[in-house]
Amino acid sequence: MPEQNHIDTIVCGQIHRETIINRHNQVSVDHPGGGALYAAAGHAMFNENVGIVAKANSEFLINFSSSLQSRGFDITGITPSTQSLRDMKYYHILSKDKWETSNLKRHFYELGHSIPKFLLQYDEFSRMPHQAVEPQNLHLLIADIPDRYLPARAALLTQLNFASHFACVPALKKAGVDRIMMRSSPTYMCPGNLLQITKLLDGIDYFFTTEQEIKTLFRSRFDHYWMMLEMLNRFGAKNILVKNSNKGCLLFHQGSTQISQIPEYDGLYIDPIGVYDCFCGAFTACVLSGDYSTPECAIYASAAASICNEGSGIAYILDSHRSILKLRAELMMSELSSTTLSALSHAPNDRRGL
């Protein structure tokens, strides 16, 4: 099994087998995906020294190990799960931020495609959820990270359950990992977990979340979005990036009222699956490079995400031309702007739930 000579970033998360019908009704059948792989692909656009840590069904490893290795990924950390996983995911893309995950047979028939036999299992698992475990419900522990991955320069924890995030952070720090990046999960971003989240974020270097998750977390406490952001900024994460519900993202630093408004490249919106994970991976690689300021890292990550948006699967990201990414980032630099938390109180979407 090919291995990287050294690992700069450990990417932990979920992996899936994806079937996608994108907005152009193009069908992508049974390709490797999931947050860990999209983040690794985004990172590889700038730095290929990535080690992936995830649990998978043995069938996934049989089908995809060779192709992932041929792409340069170190998959030593992808290990067979002792439990059967519901790793098949189906998405019928309707718009930039809306998709269906059911009615697979009807969609295939309407497009005139025959359904591969293995996809019939998707419907069977949907009807019998007790037969397998969702990947997000598995615990990922520091023991799952290969020794030779440590100490890496950074660790990016994509969407996992709370127990996995909470257990991995102190262990990674103790192992000497310099920077800890974390993407929030909607499974725990809810009012009942508010106290636990303050503990989770203590000492995190970069925390990636979304506007919708923040509004869900604070909905019982604040009516105004800017108040929610102000409170989140006190939780302990040194830097926070928030994906806006409409376009772009916000970047702010612990203890500062200044916010950088990161633009979004206005390109094609063909397939949104994995876009934010790609952003997180690209951002992490840019931070490690030391070549850019933090807002500039977010600009380059936004450019990488725009490429992910234009096609399906990690192969589309990895096959893209780096010159396109660089050009898009340079075009967006002029759109970078800043504001303050108090100024957001006048924004039209400041009210809770809007």
Of residues 19, 11, 10, the one with CA closest to residue 116: 19
Q: Which two tokens stand for residue 171?
A: 């262990």
The pTM assigned to this predicted structure is 0.94
E-only strand ranges, 125-284: 154-157, 179-183, 206-210, 239-243, 249-253, 258-262
| pLDDT at position 348 over 70 | no
- DSSP classification of residue 77: E
Residues 6+ apart with CB under 8 A from 35: 13, 14, 158, 159, 183, 274, 277
CATH number for the domain that contains residue 222: 3.40.1190.20
Does residue 52 sit within a domain?
Answer: yes
Distance CA 328, CA 91 (A): 28
CB 145, CB 77: distance < 8 Å: yes
| pLDDT at position 137 over 90 | no
Phi, psi dihedral angles at 244 (to 5 degrees): -70, 155
Q: Write out pLDDT tens, residues 156-208.
A: 999 999 999 999 999 999 999 999 999 999 999 999 999 999 999 998 999 99
CB 169, CB 201: distance < 8 Å: no
State what percent of residues in the chain have pLDDT above 70.
Answer: 93
Residue 25 is inside which H or E element, if any?
Answer: none
How many domains are there within the chain? 1
Does residue 108 sit within a domain?
Answer: no
Please tell me which residue, 123 or 223, carries the higher pLDDT value. 223
Does residue 352 sit within a domain?
Answer: no
| pLDDT at position 90 over 70 | yes
Q: Which two tokens stand for residue 61?
A: 């490893």
Distance CA 22, CA 308 (A): 12
Helices and strands in the chain, H and E counts: 12, 14
Average pLDDT, the chain: 91
* Least confident stretch, 177-186, 218-227, 297-306: 218-227
CB 47, CB 89: distance < 8 Å: no
| pLDDT at position 231 over 80 | yes
- pLDDT band at residue 253 under the 50/70/90 scheme: very high
| pLDDT at position 128 over 60 | no
Does residue 116 sit within a domain?
Answer: no
Total residue count of the chain as it appears in this document:
354
Q: Which two tokens stand for residue 195?
A: 């106290």
Does residue 153 sit within a domain?
Answer: yes
Does residue 93 sit within a domain?
Answer: no
Does residue 124 sit within a domain?
Answer: no
Q: Write out pLDDT tens, residues 28-80.
A: 999 999 999 999 999 999 999 999 999 999 999 999 999 999 999 999 999 99
- pLDDT band at residue 255 under the 50/70/90 scheme: confident
Q: Which two tokens stand for residue 238?
A: 């040194």
Please tell me which residue, 353 or 320, carries the higher pLDDT value. 320
Q: Once rounded to an integer, what is the mean pLDDT over residues 94-111?
A: 91
Q: Write out pLDDT tens, residues 32-44.
A: 999 999 999 999 9
Single-letter code of the amino acid located at 122: Y
Handedness of CA 92, 281, 316, 134 (dihedral sign): negative
Reading across the β-sheet that carries 239-243, which strands appear in turn? 74-80, 50-56, 9-12, 154-157, 179-183, 206-210, 239-243, 249-253, 258-262, 337-340
Does residue 259 sit within a domain?
Answer: yes
Distance CA 174, CA 189 (A): 26
Q: What pLDDT does residue 352 have?
A: 47
Please tell me which residue, 114 or 308, carries the higher pLDDT value. 308
Q: What pLDDT does residue 125 have?
A: 56
Partners of 11 in beta bridges: 52, 156
Q: Write out pLDDT tens, residues 268-297.
A: 999 999 999 999 999 999 999 999 999 999
Residue 151 is inside which H or E element, if any?
Answer: none
Full residue range of the structural domain in which residue 296 is found? 9-85+135-346
For 233, the 3-state DSSP assignment is: coil
